[in-house]
A and B are shown apart, each in its own frame.
Chain A
């Protein structure tokens, strides 16, 4: 089968796709409802997908709501992202044991799983690409990430139900999936519940070839186009990206940073839910007898005080400095570092901020000229 081929499968067909992937030895990871949210976990069948659920999202707000249909992918993205599998919160780097006066460095355990991700959205495919630029397309590719990424099977799905915090259209990443997948679905609900399937790789073609499908009709293709167009027209938010890196670089002392700093709790939620935030730290663990040591890589966040510590005190001691670092990196300096934006417009940082800080609103505020303190000296504190 050639890449780009389009076929149609039903829900049983999607079950069969998942089964085929499991037979091939993949851990199949997909969205599922847990604790009032749609999270990612190992699933074995479509019955574990959030059938008939949608999510109501806004700044600082997330609620699951019932749909009036049985859609399997009728929601936006939840608090999890695929980075927790590809770039996990904790990863053993190496283990060492004492040996006489010295030590022996032991082989790092093989990265565990071959993952098949079920239901990867366009913004998330973009996010995986962003992390690839940092962790794989580097002079020193990250070993564990590179292996897991190279082996991952990506079953993508076009977004038909963007959330209130979504702005992928502004970032040019969605809502339709265009490349970087093995198989891509568009869920079609009019008439028979079915999926238009596009093939993006030989691995994807091989899986689809083992599943009962029919050729896509003009009607299937037209409905799929409509699903994506309508999603694109219903973005919850908009980010004006015009000249953004320059705007940020020229406004490092804008009074808005003080304003947002009064609201930001530096809780790190935004960096944890962000699918592109890659920062990590390292931690050494030793056994009580001091004979063995392990070195772990763990997620870190630029919102912590310790992140920038130098000679016992942080470089970015204020909330202002830390929020500014996060936003100017994500939307500005990322371009100089990696030739693209560090934001894919998934909206997670907006939804999961406990005080509802909205980066699209912060950027809009930064576009308004700051009060020139020198013009009105009485207002200077």
Chain B
């Protein structure tokens, strides 16, 4: 429960309320991580928040943080050079290795693109191991879209489709309008050889998973990333329980066959 000291090496504002912090170790670095895992970020005297790792550059760990409460506000207020505490990495990873040899469909909603980004980077680095890669991204408004430049680079890779939609258009938006699952019409898939990855609000993931299973993708071949209140991240504080699952340890990434019954009970 004692964190390791890291320093903010880089800070980049992504959206009005969202920053990507590049964190470098002051002491011994944390253990190696995998896409889908998260760290606990501790702001001096304020508290700790669970944030997915959104990438890395050399020794620098990237965390893309949206300011929603006291903890994330304190983290987002850190300036370059300032220190914070880190524990991790915790939790399960996206099953990118298991998806080799298949087509891949990725559905991301809002900040949900951040935990998926390192998985997408991994897929593209290992491009030959996968069939078609469809990346479907939704946000509320055009100005809420994350990683826009990087998405256009992804779209330049052979056999990679990046489709973007917004719930509500603003002036100057000429792209698609609608929920992210409406982009599924643009994807040609053979459900039996697809691995799906979805991350976003829980209701969005339910519809994303349904859109995939409707197209013949097995629930066991769909990964979703769940979110619950977390205090310890080591399955001892009890907060993140969802049925028998400790989301911090058994998740956050679960296959949909496991997650669906848990997500379908109100207040579970």
Pair A333/B243 contact, Cβ less than 8 Å:
yes
Pair B5/A102 contact, Cβ less than 8 Å:
yes
CB distance from A101 to the nearest CB of B (A): 6
Q: Counting CB contacts under 8 A, is A325 at the interface?
A: yes
* Cβ contact of B239, chosen from A108, A281, A285, A290, cutoff 8 A: A281
Pair A284/B2 contact, Cβ less than 8 Å:
no
A interface: dominant SS: mixed
* Cβ contact of B1, chosen from A93, A134, A138, A307, cutoff 8 A: A93
CB distance from A367 to the nearest CB of B (A): 20
Write out the residue numbers on chain A whose beta carbons fall within 8 Å of the beta carbon of B68.
311-312
Most buried by B among A101, A284, A310: A284
- Given A138-B236, A282-B47, A282-B48, A312 contacting B69 (CB threshold 8 A): yes
Hey, what's the 0/1 contact readout for B66-110 against A, CB within 8 Å counting as 1? 001100000000000111010000000000000000000000000
* Cβ contact of B234, chosen from A93, A139, A253, cutoff 8 A: A139
* Cβ contact of A280, chosen from B44, B47, B232, B244, cutoff 8 A: B232
- Given A103-B44, A315-B228, A337 contacting B239 (CB threshold 8 A): no
Pair A297/B1 contact, Cβ less than 8 Å:
yes
B interface: dominant SS: loop
Pair B267/A315 contact, Cβ less than 8 Å:
yes
- What is the interface residue range for chain A against chain B? 35 or more
Q: Counting CB contacts under 8 A, is B235 at the interface?
A: yes
Write out the residue numbers on chain A whose beta carbons fall within 8 Å of the beta carbon of B45.
96, 284-286, 290, 293
CA distance A307 to B267 in the complex (A): 12
Q: Counting CB contacts under 8 A, is A252 at the interface?
A: yes
* Cβ contact of B227, chosen from A253, A297, A307, A310, cutoff 8 A: A310
Pair B237/A280 contact, Cβ less than 8 Å:
yes
Write out the residue numbers on chain A whose beta carbons fall within 8 Å of the beta carbon of B153.
none
B side interface size, CB within 8 A: 38
Write out the residue numbers on chain B whose beta carbons fall within 8 Å of the beta carbon of A94.
1-3
Pair B266/A321 contact, Cβ less than 8 Å:
yes
Write out the residue numbers on chain B whose beta carbons fall within 8 Å of the beta carbon of A282.
1, 47-48, 231-232, 237
Instruction: Kindly report which residue of chain B lies nearest to residue A102, judged by CB atoms.
Output: B83
CB distance from A40 to the nearest CB of B (A): 23
Q: Counting CB contacts under 8 A, is A140 at the interface?
A: yes
Instruction: Kindly report which residue of chain B lies nearest to residue A317, judged by CB atoms.
Output: B267
Pair B82/A101 contact, Cβ less than 8 Å:
yes
Write out the residue numbers on chain B whose beta carbons fall within 8 Å of the beta carbon of A337.
244, 246
* Cβ contact of B83, chosen from A103, A278, A286, A311, cutoff 8 A: A103
Write out the residue numbers on chain B whose beta carbons fall within 8 Å of the beta carbon of A281.
231, 237, 239
* Cβ contact of B244, chosen from A93, A139, A333, cutoff 8 A: A333
Pair A321/B267 contact, Cβ less than 8 Å:
yes
CA distance A290 to B46 in the complex (A): 11
Hey, what's the 0/1 contact readout for B45-72 against A, CB within 8 Å counting as 1? 1111000000000000000000011000
CB distance from B117 to the nearest CB of A (A): 21
CA distance A64 to B196 in the complex (A): 62
Q: Counting CB contacts under 8 A, is B187 at the interface?
A: no
Pair B47/A284 contact, Cβ less than 8 Å:
yes
Write out the residue numbers on chain A whose beta carbons fall within 8 Å of the beta carbon of B246.
337
Write out the residue numbers on chain B whose beta carbons fall within 8 Å of the beta carbon of A302.
238
Pair B268/A280 contact, Cβ less than 8 Å:
no
Write out the residue numbers on chain A whose beta carbons fall within 8 Å of the beta carbon of B26.
102
Q: Counting CB contacts under 8 A, is B193 at the interface?
A: no
Pair B5/A105 contact, Cβ less than 8 Å:
yes
- Given A98-B44, A101-B82, A280 contacting B267 (CB threshold 8 A): no
CB distance from B214 to the nearest CB of A (A): 26
Hey, what's the 0/1 contact readout for B214-249 against A, CB within 8 Å counting as 1? 000000000000011101101111110101101001
Instruction: Kindly report which residue of chain B lies nearest to residue A286, judged by CB atoms.
Output: B45
CB distance from A103 to the nearest CB of B (A): 6
Pair A102/B266 contact, Cβ less than 8 Å:
no
CB distance from B42 to the nearest CB of A (A): 8
Q: Counting CB contacts under 8 A, is B203 at the interface?
A: no
CB distance from B141 to the nearest CB of A (A): 18
Write out the residue numbers on chain A whose beta carbons fall within 8 Å of the beta carbon of B241.
325, 329, 333
Hey, what's the 0/1 contact readout for B254-268 against A, CB within 8 Å counting as 1? 000000000001111
CA distance A320 to B265 in the complex (A): 13
Write out the residue numbers on chain B whose beta carbons fall within 8 Å of the beta carbon of A35.
none
Write out the residue numbers on chain A whose beta carbons fall within 8 Å of the beta carbon of B83.
101-103
CA distance A320 to B267 in the complex (A): 9
Instruction: Kindly report which residue of chain B lies nearest to residue A144, judged by CB atoms.
Output: B1
Q: Counting CB contacts under 8 A, is A308 at the interface?
A: yes
Hey, what's the 0/1 contact readout for A38-81 against B, CB within 8 Å counting as 1? 00000000000000000000000000000000000000000000
Instruction: Kindly report which residue of chain B lies nearest to residue A294, judged by CB atoms.
Output: B45
Hey, what's the 0/1 contact readout for B132-154 against A, CB within 8 Å counting as 1? 00000000000000000000000
Pair B267/A108 contact, Cβ less than 8 Å:
no
CB distance from A307 to the nearest CB of B (A): 6
Q: Counting CB contacts under 8 A, is B206 at the interface?
A: no
Write out the residue numbers on chain A whose beta carbons fall within 8 Å of the beta carbon of B195.
none
Instruction: Kindly report which residue of chain A lies nearest to residue B249, judged by CB atoms.
Output: A139
Q: Counting CB contacts under 8 A, is A143 at the interface?
A: yes
Pair A105/B238 contact, Cβ less than 8 Å:
no
CB distance from A289 to the nearest CB of B (A): 11
Q: Counting CB contacts under 8 A, is A84 at the interface?
A: no
CA distance A15 to B85 in the complex (A): 49
* Cβ contact of B2, chosen from A108, A286, A293, A320, cutoff 8 A: A108
- Write the residues of chain B forming the contact surface with A, with a CB cutoff of 8 angstroms: 1-3, 5, 7, 26, 42, 44-48, 68-69, 81-83, 85, 227-229, 231-232, 234-239, 241, 243-244, 246, 249, 265-268
A-B contacts besides A142-B236, A281-B239, A317-B267, 9 pairs, CB < 8 Å: A94-B3, A103-B5, A105-B3, A142-B1, A279-B239, A280-B237, A300-B238, A325-B268, A333-B241
Shortest Cβ-Cβ A-B pairs, 5 listed: A321-B267, A279-B238, A336-B244, A286-B45, A293-B45
